């Protein structure tokens, strides 16, 4: 390529002696991309402070004095920017400039060095790019060899920083720029001056990384570890997924992890999005598992189904996915178990089924109505005194006082139950017997007399309560009793029920006797400010041998 040989060529910016003012960047609205639970959102750098480097090599040709003057400009610089939540970028680019001019293969005295600075802006989201707009070079020509230096200020065309790779904490890409501003070119020794632009391009590369990159890496490993352990638990098939297990191994660790992530806003978006995508992938399987378990009408299976659904609902805070009918199936199965237990007069199972309905979120009044309906159906099908008295005791304890009193009235009409309550034997008198009245009805027993009838021939259980809001209910053991059934109610509406072998229990206990992992769940119905509680004691054959009246 031709060179001007006669000494140095002095290159200076035509008419530009002052550094162009840098304009502040306009504030941009911060818009965080919504979390998706079905697909990973586009990864672009999260908000925060980023630093990086950039490098550019320019090759420009000035056509002057019938020859081609070749100017190479090399820039090595630094980037200092802030990335907003929506991916928009604002900041600065600085660097050192080396502009060698060669003569016969040697660096000429007219070569230049300097610095460059300017504002950089744009977006790293959704395939965006950055622009270094009209950066200013403070150039010192003639610095090689200790000669006289000439300072010139050069306003460059914009540099385009295209993105080729971005992730949550970094970005990189290529740089392009076209042409060099018009310069004064002086032919040394000839006294000639001309003006010409440099025709050519600059290319290079850039990269940025968040100040929080290490924090992100640490939390990212913890997210991966949580997802791995959660998947292992949910797919093992060997561990029943009861509430306590799921809460301790799934929900609590997730909540703690999310809390820690949110404490670092500059890394939270991508990490929470990754957890949301995992939730979205896990939820359909959990909903299907809950529905499958609910199809088997046993107390243990419906508990596991309800626990799985509760956990899935807790995980579903970001997703809002439908449960595929799992909640409806569980409620129907719980109600079916209660109906079946009442129909076969399995009072323990009936109490526990009522508890499951309350635990699953069924309104207490709805549970009472279900109990009433089943008891009333039994009332119509019961004719023997013993059966009526047993049913009356369960009805009274569970809150269905109307049916209990009706049963006592039916028993009283036969004369047997009332006479046993007062310890009277029938007396058969043959003389002066009065004719039986034909129209007088046997009065319905009052609550006071009902209590005496209900406690006839069985042990009256004494009990005590302590603990305030953490209420503990205790009662005396009953001779011959194998199990107990307990109800806590407010205005006869059940708030909690329990069945087991113990003679004391804490309000809200959810354990199923003999099934590990079913206790320890928080009870959803707060202890009423005014409540009563009752206890029924059963022997091994299922016969009631003791009772504590609601008080």
Short-list 404, 418, 421, CA closest to 487? 404
CATH 2.60.40 fits 458-548, yes or no: yes
Residues 452, 455, 456, 457, Cα dihedral to 10°: -160
Beta bridge partners of 136: 117, 155
Give the pLDDT of residue 436.
Answer: 45
Mean of pLDDT values over 462-480: 92
Give the pLDDT of residue 103.
Answer: 65
Domain residues of the chain, as ranges? 9-19+37-211, 212-324, 458-548
Which tens digits make up the pLDDT trace of 76-131?
A: 999 999 999 999 999 999 999 999 877 666 777 778 899 999 999 999 998 899 99
Which residues, 6+ apart, have CB-to-CB distance to 444 below 8 Å? 405, 406, 408, 409
Least reliable range by pLDDT among 33-42, 240-249, 439-448, 461-470:
439-448
* Most confident region among 27-31, 232-236, 357-361 by mean pLDDT: 357-361
Give the DSSP per-residue string, 218-243: HHHHHHHHHHHHHHHHHH-SSS---H
Confidence of residue 146 (pLDDT cuts 50, 70, 90): low
Which tens digits make up the pLDDT trace of 282-327?
A: 999 999 999 999 999 999 999 999 999 988 888 877 678 889 999 9
Whole-angstrom distance, CA of residue 453 vs CA of residue 445: 9
Give the DSSP per-residue string, 60-83: EEEEETTEEEEEEEEEEEEEEEEE
Residue with tokens 């809390």: 259
Burial label, 522 (beta-carbon count in 10 A; 0-12, 13-18, 19+)? exposed
Short-list 156, 159, 30, CA closest to 82? 30
Whole-Å CA distances, 50 to 203, 215, 336, 361: 22, 14, 61, 49
Topology match between the domains 9-19+37-211 and 458-548:
no
Residue 282 dihedral angles phi and psi, to the nearest 5° = -85, -30
Give the pLDDT of residue 437.
Answer: 43
Residue 216 dihedral angles phi and psi, to the nearest 5° = -60, -45
Half-sphere exposure of 396 (CA within 13 A, CB side): 28
The arrangement of secondary structure in 9-19+37-211, i.e. its CATH architecture, is: Beta Barrel (2.40)
3-state secondary structure of 490: strand
Whether the pLDDT of residue 427 is over 70: the answer is no
Tell me, yes or no, if the pTM score tops 0.85.
Answer: no
Whether the pLDDT of residue 7 is over 80: the answer is no
Whole-angstrom distance, CA of residue 256 vs CA of residue 228: 16
């Amino acid at each position: 390529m031709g060179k001007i040989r006669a000494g140095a060529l002095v290159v200076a910016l035509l008419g530009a002696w002052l550094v162009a003012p840098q304009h502040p960047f306009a504030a941009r609205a911060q818009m965080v991309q919504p979390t998706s639970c079905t697909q990973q959102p586009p990864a672009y750098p999260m908000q925060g402070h980023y630093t990086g480097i950039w490098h550019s090599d320019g090759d420009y040709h000035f056509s002057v004095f019938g020859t081609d003057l070749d100017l190479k400009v090399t820039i090595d610089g630094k980037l200092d920017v802030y990335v907003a939540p929506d991916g928009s970028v604002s900041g600065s680019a600085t660097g050192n400039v080396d502009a060698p001019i060669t003569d016969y293969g040697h660096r000429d005295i007219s070569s230049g060095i300097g610095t460059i600075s300017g504002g950089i802006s744009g977006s790293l989201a959704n395939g965006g790019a950055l622009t270094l707009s009209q950066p200013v070079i403070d150039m010192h020509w003639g610095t090689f060899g200790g000669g006289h230096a000439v300072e010139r200020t050069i306003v460059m065309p914009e540099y385009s920083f295209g993105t080729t790779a971005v992730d949550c904490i970094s970005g990189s890409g290529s740089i392009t720029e076209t042409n060099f501003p018009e310069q004064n070119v002086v032919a040394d020794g000839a006294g000639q001056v001309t003006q010409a632009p440099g025709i050519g391009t600059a290319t290079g590369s850039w990269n940025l990384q968040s100040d929080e990159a290490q924090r992100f890496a640490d939390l990212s490993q913890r997210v991966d570890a949580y997802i791995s352990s959660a998947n292992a638990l949910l797919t093992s098939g060997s561990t029943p997924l009861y509430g306590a297990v799921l809460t301790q191994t799934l929900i609590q660790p997730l909540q703690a992890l999310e809390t820690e992530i949110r404490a670092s806003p500059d890394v939270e978006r991508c990490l929470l999005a990754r957890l949301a995508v995992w939730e979205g992938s896990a939820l359909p399987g959990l909903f299907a598992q809950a529905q499958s378990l609910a199809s088997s009408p046993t107390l243990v299976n419906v508990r596991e189904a309800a626990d799985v659904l509760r956990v899935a609902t807790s995980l579903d805070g970001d997703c809002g996915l439908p449960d595929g009918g799992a909640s409806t199936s569980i409620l129907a199965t719980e109600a079916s178990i209660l109906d079946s237990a009442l129909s076969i007069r399995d009072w323990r199972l009936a109490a526990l089924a009522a508890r499951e309905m309350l635990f699953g979120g069924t309104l207490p009044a709805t549970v009472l109505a279900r109990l009433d309906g089943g008891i009333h159906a039994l009332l119509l099908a019961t004719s023997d005194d013993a059966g009526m008295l047993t049913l009356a005791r369960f009805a009274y304890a569970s809150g269905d006082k109307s049916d209990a009193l009706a049963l006592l009235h039916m028993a009283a009409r036969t004369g047997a139950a009332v006479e046993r309550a007062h310890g009277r034997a029938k007396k058969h008198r043959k003389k002066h017997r009065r004719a039986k009245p034909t129209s007088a009805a046997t009065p319905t027993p009052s609550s006071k007399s009902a209590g005496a009838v209900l406690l006839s021939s069985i042990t009256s259980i004494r009990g005590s309560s302590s603990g305030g809001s953490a209420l503990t209910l205790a009662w005396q053991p009953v001779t011959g009793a194998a199990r107990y059934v307990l109800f806590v109610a407010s205005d006869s509406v059940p708030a909690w029920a329990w069945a087991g072998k113990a003679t004391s229990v804490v309000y809200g206990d959810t354990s199923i006797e003999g099934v590990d992992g079913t206790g320890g769940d928080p009870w959803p119905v707060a202890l009423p400010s005014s409540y009563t509680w009752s206890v029924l004691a059963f022997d091994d054959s299922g016969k009631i041998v003791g009772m504590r009246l609601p008080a």
